[in-house]
Amino acid sequence: MAESATFMSGATSFSSQGNSTASPRAEPGEAFVSDQIVFTPRSYSAPSSTSPSSPSFSPQKMGILSPQIGTTSGDLDINSTPPCSVAGMRSPSPFPLGLDSPPASRLRGSPDPSTTDRSIKTLEQKRKEAVSLAYVWPTEHRPAIQHDEFTDIEIPTIDLTCLISKDPVARKQVVAQVRAACLNWGFFHAVNHGIPHELLERVQKQAQRFFAMPKEEKLKVERDPKGYTGYGNAGVKPTDSQPWSEGFYLANDSSVDKYSQVLWPHGDNEDFGNSYREYNEKAENLAAQLMDLIIESLEVNADHFQPYLHNASGLLRWNHYPPCPQPHKSLGMAPHTDFNMLTVLHQGDIGGLQVQKDGKWVAVRPNGDALAINIGDTLQVLTNALYKSIPHRAVVNRTQTRISLAYFYAPTTKSEIVPSPELLERTNQSSIYKRFTMEEYLAVKKGQLLNTLQHFTLEPLTQSLAFPVHTE
Ligand SMILES: O=C(O)CCC(=O)C(=O)O
Ligand SMILES: [Fe+2]
C-alpha cells in the first residue's frame, strides 16, 4: 500500500508521444482526451480475452545525442520516436498512477457499464479512462507469461572469479562459457562480477528515493528533448500503447551534479552523485573486461575492436515499474533489442525480465547476486551476426515495485560499425550489413525498437552461422 501510494504521488505528466497535439505538461491522460481515443474499439472491446580509463560520457561518444533514444536502452529526444531502448520519449504518466486507475470492472477486462453512455461522461471520467487505456496493450502483444512464471529453461550463469584471480586456466574455461552463451542465448547472468552488493543497494535506494518524489520534483529534471539524460521513459513505437514504467537517465558528465542540486538543494543527499559515480566506474570497468572476454571467445585479433572500445562509454537508465492492476494486459517495457555493444543489467530479486529464446518468451529468474549481461545490436554487427542481440522485454506485476538499473556500454556516435574482417575471412562470409555509423543507426532506432538492423542488412540471414573454430 505504501508503495502504491508513493507511486501515485509520483505520477508523471508526460504527453503522449503518439499525439502530436499533446502538451508536454498535460495532466495524465489529457493528451488522450478525445472521443476518438476514449471510444476506440480496442479500448472498449478489451474483454479479456572498454577501457576502464575511458573518459566520461559524451553525447558524441555515445551516439545518443541525436534527438532521442529509448526503451530498454538507447536514446534521445523525448518528443519524437524513440531511437532505441535508451532514448526518451514522453508518455502519459505511468498509469501507474493510482488515481488514474481504471474502474475495477475494466481491470478485469469487461466494459464498465457506467461508461457506455457517452452522454453522461464527465471530462474527468474521460481522462481517467483514457489514461488507463493508454496502458492496455493489444491482445497480441500482451505477455502470456507472467513475471514469476519460471521454467527450467534458464539463461546460463557464468562465474567471473577469473577476472579477479587472473587464473589463466579458469579464464580459458570462462571464455568458452561466454562463447556458448553468446552463440546460444545472447544473454547470461554474471556472478562474482566484482561490483559490491552494497554499492548496488545504494544505487537502488537512490532510484527508489527519486521515483518516490512527487511528479513536480521529478519534472524539474525532465529530459531535455535535445539531451540524453534526465527523467523520461523508455521508448515505444508511436503507434504502441504506453509502457508501465518511468525512467531516469544518467551519464558521467556535469548533469549528475546539476540534478543533485535541483533535487536536493540543501545538499542533504550526497550519495546521489557519489553512488552514481562509483557505480559508473565499476560498470564501465566490468563492461570493458567482458568485451575482452567476448573478443577472446571469437578467437580473432582484438585490433579491429579497439577503436570501438577506446572511447566507449556508458549511459545508465534507472527503470521503475510500479505495481500494475492489470499486469497481463500491460508491458513495463516493450520488446526491443539494445542499441549498444553490451548491457549490464541489475534487476534485484523481483522478476520481470523476459528474453526470447528460439522464438518463445522465457522469464529470467532473478538472482540478486547476478548481473544480467546481454549483447546489443552494435556487437551483433561487429560479429556479422555470429553473436545476436536478442529481443527482450519487461513485464510488470500486481503487487511489487520493481527497479532495474541498465548500463549501456556503447561506442561513439561517429563510429562506423563494421564486422571484423578476420572473422569474415575465417567464416568465409562477406558482411551482411551495409556500412553505417552509430549516428545513422540511432536515427532509424528512434522509430523501430525491434529489427532495427534489418534496415542495414544487405541480405537477410537465412541460416545461422556456425562458429568457425573448435568449441570445447
Ligand atoms: O528492466 C528490465 O528487466 C529490462 C530493462 C531493459 O531491457 C532496458 O533497460 O533496456
Ligand atoms: Fe534492454
Give the whole-angstrom CA distance, residue 351 versus residue 369. Answer: 14
Complex ipTM: 1.00
Q: What is the distance between the alpha carbons of residues 358 and 75, in angstroms, rounded to a whole number?
A: 28
The three cell numbers locating residue 163: 577476472
- Burial of residue 21 (CB within 10 Å: 0-12, 13-18, 19+) is exposed
Lowest mean pLDDT among 27-31, 99-103, 210-214, 344-348: 27-31
Q: Report phi then psi at 254, rounded to 5.
A: -70, -10
> Which of the ligands is closest to the CA of residue 75?
1
How do strand 187-191 and strand 157-159 relate by DSSP bridges? parallel
The whole-angstrom separation of Cα 89 and Cα 67 is 10
At 108, the pLDDT band (50, 70, 90 cuts) reads very low
For 135-149, b/e burial (b = at least 16 CB within 10 A) is: bbbeeeebbeebbee
pLDDT computed for residue 101 by the predictor: 33
The catalytic residue among 118, 209, 402, 426 is: 402
Q: What is the pLDDT of residues 221-230, one digit of tens each?
A: 999 877 889 9
Least confident of 117-121, 164-168, 439-443: 117-121
Distance CA 50, CA 63 (A): 16
Nearest residue (by CA) to ligand 1, atom 1, is 404
Taking the CA of residue 392 as reference, the ligand 1 atom at the shortest distance is 7
pLDDT above 90: percentage of residues in the chain: 62
* Closest ligand 1 atom to Cα of 374: 7
Q: Whose CA is nearest to atom 3 of ligand 1?
A: 353
CA of 366 to the centre of ligand 1 (A): 13
Task: With CA atoms as reference, report the closest residue to 42 among 32, 30, 52.
Answer: 32
| pLDDT classification of 467: cutoffs 50, 70, 90 | low
Is the pLDDT reported for residue 382 higher than 50? yes
Q: Is the pLDDT reported for residue 455 higher than 70?
A: yes
Provide DSSP, 64-79: --SSB--SSB--B-TT
Helical packing angle, 168-184 and 271-298, nearest 10°: 90
Domains in the chain (CATH in brackets) are 25-135 (no CATH), 140-456 (2.60.120.330)
Does residue 181 carry a pLDDT above 70? yes
Model-wide pTM > 0.95: no
pLDDT at 311: 87
Rounded distance, CA 355 to CA 189, Å? Answer: 12
CA distances to 9, 100, 113, 209, 233 from 213, in Å: 7, 17, 35, 7, 16
